[in-house]
Amino acid sequence: MRRAAHQVLDRPTVFEDPTAVRMAGGPGADFDERLRRSEQSPIAPFLRAFMAVRSRCAEDELARAMTRGVTQYVVLGAGLDTFCCRNPYPADKLRLFEVDHPATQMWKRERIDAAGLRPTGALTFVPVDFETQSLGAALEAAGYAACERALFSWLGVAPYLDAPTVKATLRFVAAAPAGSGVVFDYAVSPDGLNPVQRVVFDTLSSKVAAVGEPFRSFFDPQALAAELREIGFREIDDLDPDALNHRYFRGRADGLKVGGLARLLIAWV
Ligand SMILES: C[S@@+](CC[C@H](N)C(=O)[O-])C[C@H]1O[C@@H](n2cnc3c(N)ncnc32)[C@H](O)[C@@H]1O
């Protein structure tokens, strides 16, 4: 819904996604009105900006990765990410794996059909519960080649998993061939937040807990970077709110930008 809202409410867009509106149940005047109403809260534009920019950033990294010999794109916890319906890369250049919880994935596939969307390129759906199943085994059974370079996109998922599960997934990516990478967002430890950020964090945190998906892992940026280096990542770009706003939102007339909790990390093996 927020990526769809970005297409409808924000100009210019930082993330061009012509299929987001259809995936979310639009288009139509009623749909636009519903989006406008649902984006009224003071923190909505910050969340919308972050959800748009993290997808933009992952797809920018994919474009770079394609020039570095990456042949596989693995979207972990894909949710209603629409890349599979916009994938511009031919099947002999890129294999796309969408990994998600079986229940979410089934729902997404129904939504794709209901919206009249059609996946493009070489796509394989891989149903996996990260907390109880082996990601590696499921991917390999689905045709993922462990000897080829891959980029992993892991957006809006790590905060909902416990820290050991997050680390196990990062170790799996780190074991991929040199030139492979991951783009993911994470939650910083609430202890280090300023009072305003703390209020926003508490609001968000109680909202997600109320729908049964509480935030479960938090990281300190320096400690996380050290751990990533230790497990085999060599190039680490941890984009804090200033970096994201400078890279993607500067000079806007509407003031759209990410808030103080946004954190997007790009790491290459
Ligand atoms: C907030 S959504 C993010 C979706 C998408 N990546 C995006 O950026 O819009 C969280 C996703 O994580 C997935 N997820 C949460 N816990 C999971 C688990 N234990 N195993 C597999 N997927 C999980 C959900 O199914 C959902 O697709």
Q: What is the pLDDT of residue 130?
A: 86
Low-confidence ranges of the chain (pLDDT < 50): none
Q: Which of 236, 219, 126 is nearest to 174 (CA)?
A: 236
Contacts for 125 with CB less than 8 Å, ≥ 6 apart: 98, 100, 105, 109
Q: Which of 59, 75, 100, 204 is the best mutation target for the ligand 1 pocket, counting ligand atoms within 8 Å of the beta carbon and taking the most?
A: 100
pLDDT at position 3: 97
Question: Nearest C-alpha to atom 23 of ligand 1 is from which residue?
Answer: 101
pLDDT value at position 18? Answer: 92
In terms of C-beta density within 10 A (0-12 exposed, 13-18 middle, 19 or more buried), how is residue 144 classed?
A: buried
- 76 C-alpha vs ligand 1 centroid, how far in Å? 7
Residue 268: per-residue pLDDT: 98
Amino acid of residue 92:
D
Which residue do the tokens 């093996």 mark?
Answer: 269
Residue 114: what pLDDT? 96
Q: For residue 172, what pLDDT is reported?
A: 97
Distance 119 CA to ligand 1 centre (A): 19
Using the CB atoms, write b or e for 33-56: b if 16+ within 10 Å. Answer: ebbeeebeeeeebbbbbbbbbbbb
Q: What's residue 146's pLDDT? A: 98
Q: What pLDDT, on the 0 to 100 scale, is given for residue 131?
A: 84
Cα of 137 from ligand 1 centre, angstroms: 19
* Side chain identity, residue 173: V
Closest protein CA for atom 22 of ligand 1: 101
Peptide bond into 12 cis (omega under 30): yes
- Nearest one of 127, 136, 66, 53 to 95, comparing CA atoms: 66
Residue 100 beta carbon below 6 angstroms from any ligand 1 atom: yes
